[in-house]
A = this chain, B = another copy of it.
């Protein structure tokens, strides 16, 4: 790997953590450079604009999410096991101690929802993709016989996502010590409602 790529990744790693705390808007090129012992202009040259930097950070985060959550999930056996893997790894993602600033996607979602542009487009795309993947796993769970045939998979994915959001909120803002337990209880209820006849 060339020297340039190397520093670029060092920058993105730091920026990723920084943006988790302060958001994509809060990212400061000067501050980032100082933290990394680089010059502002030297760092800037890697991206060409702040918006490019933001997109690069989102992309790097998406790659990481893929590794931590998506890949392990779609490797798990189809059906309920895979659905559980989705949820478990998603929770792990939110609790990752190496990213104490919280989920960058949730921060970006709130920041960008009213700010059209390539950064928002990227975020929306990756979130849709995530939702679709969950929906697909739910469909497979039906095929495999773990879920009832009349389960609304998109609805299932919506509710699972909602639980994750609720967990994040309770944990990060309210510091609710039982946030994870609550989330798991909610998820179990959701899961069993997809399994058992009404």
Contact = CB atoms under 8 A, between A and B. Distances in A.
Which of A110, A128, A154 is most buried by chain B, counting CB atoms within 10 A of its CB?
A110
Interface string A71-110: 0000000000000000000000000000011100011011
A113 B172 contact: yes
Contact of A162 (B107, B112, B163): B163
Interface string A1-25: 0000000000000000000011101
A151 to B, nearest CB: 12
Interface residues of A, number: 46
A186 B158 contact: yes
A131 B165 CA distance: 16
The listed residue with most B CB atoms (<10 A of its CB), out of A25, A26, A159, A178, is A159
A161 interface: yes
Instruction: Name the residue in A154, A158, A174, A178 with the highest tally of chain B Cβ atoms < 10 Å from its Cβ.
Output: A158
A189 interface: yes
B109 A169 contact: yes
- How many copies altogether? 2
Contacts of A158: 166, 170, 179, 182-183, 186
Which 7 residue pairs are nearest across A and B when measured between Cβ atoms? A162-B166, A165-B165, A113-B172, A158-B182, A110-B110, A162-B162, A109-B173
Interface of A: 21-23, 25-26, 100-102, 106-107, 109-114, 123-124, 127-128, 131, 152, 154-155, 158-159, 161-163, 165-167, 169-170, 172-175, 178-179, 182-183, 185-186, 189, 193
29 contacts: A21-B114, A22-B114, A23-B111, A25-B26, A101-B114, A102-B110, A102-B113, A106-B110, A109-B169, A110-B111, A112-B173, A113-B172, A113-B173, A124-B173, A127-B174, A128-B174, A155-B182, A155-B186, A158-B166, A158-B179, A158-B186, A159-B166, A159-B189, A162-B165, A162-B167, A162-B186, A163-B166, A165-B166, A165-B169
